[in-house]
Structure 1
Amino acid sequence: MGTNWQPQLSDTGTPKYKALMHAIRSGIDNQSLAPGDKLPPVRDLAWRLGITPGTVARAYSGLTDDGTLVAEVGRGTFVAEPKAIPPDYFPIEADSVEHNAGGDGYAVNMISPHLPSVGQARLIRQLLAQIAEDPPSGIMHYPSRQNMQPARAAAARFLSQAPLGRFTEEDVVLAHGGQNAIILIMQTVLCGRRPTVLVEELCYPGFRRAADLMRAEVIPVAMDAHGLRPDALEAAAQRHQAQMLFTSAEVHNPTCLFTPAERRAEIVEVARRCDLQILEDDCYRIGPSQAPAYRMLAPERGWYVASLSKSVTPALRVGFALAPEEQSMALRRAAESSFFGLATPISDLVAALLSHPGLDELMDKVRRQSGDYIQAALNVLGGHDVKWRQDVPFLWLTLPPGWRTSAFCQAAAKQGVQVRSAEDFASRDAASPHAVRLAVNAGVSLASFEAAMQRLRRLLDNPPEGIGV
């Protein structure tokens, strides 16, 4: 058969690349494809099936990774010999890393989330080894839009799971993590000697650090149970002639709040009346989106940032930025003027990682195991005022009467548990609530994490004498 082989794709609602992988395996099983047969070239098969070349390349890549196919540089892709085909399709093993077993006395850092290691480190090592053998973008050239095209295309597929409005791979800007993406957007939007930006009254501290770099004034805006209050937003925007709003609507950091679609629509109306650009930080969401992003609701002023830090690993420092439809070119220029582009081996890794057929399974495992830690925390702290979501890797704990935040953080540290104060999320001159954020640390065993929760519970149940009530 070889290059004349023509598969039939099943229409079962599964992604087309998975349907093609199934068709190739079926072809091998029914002997219409034999060991050593050459598969059709990517573009040829894509044209014949009426699908994109990227879809065919993703299917070929997945089958090459699991040993079903063999790719030879300059020759093509071939059916592997039977001995190269493992009995199971793409088994993903947990990474062989040492976890701190710990115990009641073990120190647990809950300042920032520590993701569970479920196979992503092993996969990244394998992909890095393949790239080192034959780097698709080479290692002797500057980054360019051409050699980063596969990474942008893979990122576009990755981002397409969220309701972001219209965009193509040409609109995706690759950044050195979510924080870098935020700074790029600020460089694109802000103007004047002392621009003003608006933030939620409790917000991700990186917003303020980025604003400091841009010499921008930061104004906090009051919130309620649904996020930003539209009346407070409009008053602040008019009073300070603000240019931009920073917000985390899907997963508010640090309170776990979610801004529903109705409230988002009200905020968009305010933004249009006050000519505000809206930057949405979606880096903490590891589950499905629950409402349309601001980029979809307000395509003329919605900017979007995401990253791999909370769903795969923070080590790679890979972020994604999308501009409003008419400002994509300006955002690209900001990135190219700042750093030309990601290092080519990293962009090659991004393309391979985000196109890998096992990535969805890995992210599901990360989400489930993070949820196990959240549940363990709730089992211990459930009697106190805790805000949480099963698909968010932190909890927001309002302290009971008798505890002040600084005293509780110091007492927790003495018990071997580091937590993050509400003061870290408030503006410098604002009165912050007596609350702390507890991030999931899946780098320690579940037993150690639960023991740390027990130590916090004992503190919560026994506030210092003479304070509070």
Structure 2
Amino acid sequence: MDTIWPTDLPKSKGPKYTLVADTIRKAIENKQLEVGVKLPPVRELAYRLQITPGTVARAYSILTEEGLLQAEVGRGTFVAPPKMPLLDDVWSRQLHLRDDKYDANVSLFSPRLPDVGQVSLIRSCLAKVAQGDPKMFMNYPTRDAYLPVRQAVVDWLSDLPLGALNADDIVLTHGGQSGLCVVFQTVLRDPKPVVLVEDLSYAGFRRAGELMRAEVVGVKMDKWGISPDALDHILRQTRAQAICVSPEVQNPTGGHSPLERRNEVIEIARRHDLQIIEDDCYRMGEARAPSYRALAPERGWHVSSISKTLTPALRVGFAIAPRERSGDLRRSAEYGYFGLAQPLAELTRLLLSHPQSRQIARDVRAKMGEYVRVAVNALGGFNLNWDPDIPFVWLSLPSGWRAAAFSRAAEREGIQLRSADEFALRDGRAPNAVRIAMNGHVSLKQFESAMLRLRALLDNPPEQISV
């Protein structure tokens, strides 16, 4: 370092920490600092340059984040080996099937996000995790070890109306379904608890309830969600302890509950001491009303994930309890699975706190909106419920079609989608409708072809009478 630093910093404008970082960066690029060279301790370099130790520490931190330096506990800071080369950017961002390898088969079972840069970002974050503190790979996780990632989650959720929220309120889960199960474990009691769901609802509600040996009961719904009158009637007949709702994006219909309806549900829930569990995993746009946790802070639970904003592959979700129940929810998670693996938690911290992540989420939302518009252009002549910020559309079938028959016909065309039957309780009635999810892994051209094949089926129902 003596060959780089005479006695003071270069004469240049800008914060001193950037001058320190730039000088070291140039020295590494010019091979004046070779791989493995140890840099002076923070206080020693600060004394030599007559600047504060915090300035040097910040410069070291920036270069460590860039992968140019690596810090080893108890040993010091060293010049890091060159980064492992990533795949060519065009290839790393190309999940779509190439047109010259066209495949007519398209899965529309569940939303598949396009890669708009998150693959490259995740790889970069994984490389940083690999260079992290060795203890992260050898020790059991602790609550304190998760504090930085929980704070990153709070920052990530900062634009949502969730009520008072801090890092202690966040419980990390293995995706939204895991979050739902942890909340059930915290809320439900008695040998045979009762859980309420909307007549048509996410099948994971039912599965999580059955896992807890609960009786799952459907409640009638309208275009605004749970019917208040039906809810009050069922609560007079049962001793239900919780209700699962998706007020922002009702899955599968794509509807939402306005503020007035949410307040009606809360009034009834308070009268019957009912816990409200909100699943917010499908929302990609801005929230249209305050969450149940904000509106009813004594009984509102919130479950979310990054599956529809960044990637479902990491299986990272968040569960949030009412403030007075946060300790109960933490214990359920700790007793059940201790917590996320520390490398996964660190990856989550790096990903959520990266300055590119919010723009990537916005780009995912915009790209999925393009697929929705293609679907609407092809199918808009039919009874279609859609929103550009929702990664699926809900299609009510025309006369002559039944949901099961239409799903089979679509599958013969190479298209897999979900019938309304899959969202109804076993003893419930399902409408003649299907849910069509957006698939960002195929090109818009291929997706449009699938939509046009569906339209051809809709135009020619099997019961149509030829004249």
TM norm. shorter chain > 0.5: yes
Displacement of 1:185 in angstroms is 0.5
Taking structure 1 as reference, are residues 285 and 94 closer, same or farther at Cα in structure 2, changes over 3 Å only? farther
Larger Rg: 2
SS where residue 397 of structure 1 aligns? strand
Q: Deviation digits for residues 186-225 of structure 1, max 9, x if unmatched? A: 0111111111011011100000000110111111111112
Distance 2:402 2:18 in 1: 70
The share of aligned pairs that are identical, in percent, is: 49
Distance 1:149 1:25 in 2: 36
| Residue 35 (structure 1) aligns with | 23
Displacement of 1:27 in angstroms is 2.8
Could you tell me which of 136, 144, 148 is aligned with 2:142?
A: 144
| Residue 16 (structure 1) aligns with | none
Taking structure 1 as reference, are residues 245 and 100 closer, same or farther at Cα in structure 2, changes over 3 Å only? same
Once the two structures are superposed, the pairs formed by residues 149-298 of structure 1 within 5 Å of their partners are 149-298=147-296
Residues 1:108 and 2:106 are matched in the alignment:
yes
Calculate the aligned-residue CA RMSD, in Å.
3.1
| Residue 411 (structure 2) aligns with | 413
Residues 1:375 and 2:369 are matched in the alignment:
no
Distance 2:346 2:17 in 1: 32
Query: Is the contact made by 1:422 and 1:435 (CA closer than 8 Å) also made in structure 2?
Result: yes
| Residue 362 (structure 2) aligns with | 364
Once the two structures are superposed, the pairs formed by residues 306-325 of structure 1 within 5 Å of their partners are 306-325=304-323
Distance 1:388 1:76 in 2: 56
Query: Is the contact made by 1:36 and 1:78 (CA closer than 8 Å) also made in structure 2?
Result: no
Distance 1:39 1:299 in 2: 49
Taking structure 1 as reference, are residues 435 and 135 closer, same or farther at Cα in structure 2, changes over 3 Å only? farther
Q: Which amino acid aligns with 1:420?
A: R
Query: Is the contact made by 1:255 and 1:396 (CA closer than 8 Å) also made in structure 2?
Result: yes
Q: Which amino acid aligns with 1:317?
A: R
Q: Which amino acid aligns with 1:221?
A: V
Could you tell me which of 440, 445, 460 is aligned with 2:438?
A: 440
| Residue 8 (structure 2) aligns with | none
Once the two structures are superposed, the pairs formed by residues 25-64 of structure 1 within 5 Å of their partners are 26-27=14-15, 35-36=23-24
Displacement of 1:31 in angstroms is 5.8
Query: Is the contact made by 2:174 and 2:317 (CA closer than 8 Å) also made in structure 1?
Result: yes
More deviation, 127-136/253-262: 127-136
Displacement of 1:135 in angstroms is 3.9
Displacement of 1:62 in angstroms is 7.4
Distance 1:208 1:243 in 2: 14
| Residue 96 (structure 2) aligns with | 99
TM-score for the superposition, normalised by structure 2: 0.83
Aligned residue pair count: 423
Distance 2:13 2:331 in 1: 44
Taking structure 1 as reference, are residues 40 and 304 closer, same or farther at Cα in structure 2, changes over 3 Å only? farther
Unaligned runs of 5+ in 1: 3-23, 42-52, 85-91
Distance 2:148 2:412 in 1: 49
Displacement of 1:96 in angstroms is 3.6
Taking structure 1 as reference, are residues 158 and 457 closer, same or farther at Cα in structure 2, changes over 3 Å only? same
Distance 1:349 1:172 in 2: 17
Q: Deviation digits for residues 158-180 of structure 1, max 9, x if unmatched? A: 12221000121011000111001
Query: Is the contact made by 1:95 and 1:120 (CA closer than 8 Å) also made in structure 2?
Result: no
| Residue 50 (structure 1) aligns with | none
Displacement of 1:99 in angstroms is 2.0
Runs of 4+ in 1 over 6 A off after TM superposition: 37-41, 59-63, 75-80
Query: Is the contact made by 1:250 and 1:290 (CA closer than 8 Å) also made in structure 2?
Result: yes
Q: Which amino acid aligns with 1:394?
A: F
Could you tell me which of 416, 422, 425 is aligned with 2:423?
A: 425
Q: Deviation digits for residues 387-415 of structure 1, max 9, x if unmatched? A: 11111110000000010011100100001
Query: Is the contact made by 1:62 and 1:357 (CA closer than 8 Å) also made in structure 2?
Result: no
Once the two structures are superposed, the pairs formed by residues 130-141 of structure 1 within 5 Å of their partners are 130-135=128-133, 138-141=136-139
Q: Which amino acid aligns with 2:23?
A: P
Distance 1:311 1:25 in 2: 39
Could you tell me which of 340, 349, 352 is aligned with 1:342?
A: 340
Taking structure 1 as reference, are residues 272 and 350 closer, same or farther at Cα in structure 2, changes over 3 Å only? same
Query: Is the contact made by 1:137 and 1:345 (CA closer than 8 Å) also made in structure 2?
Result: no
Unaligned runs of 5+ in 2: 6-11, 26-39, 44-53, 84-88
Q: Deviation digits for residues 417-446 of structure 1, max 9, x if unmatched? A: 111000000011111000000000111111
Query: Is the contact made by 1:94 and 1:119 (CA closer than 8 Å) also made in structure 2?
Result: no
Taking structure 1 as reference, are residues 360 and 240 closer, same or farther at Cα in structure 2, changes over 3 Å only? same
Could you tell me which of 283, 298, 301 is aligned with 2:299?
A: 301
Query: Is the contact made by 2:72 and 2:133 (CA closer than 8 Å) also made in structure 1?
Result: no
Distance 2:159 2:70 in 1: 29
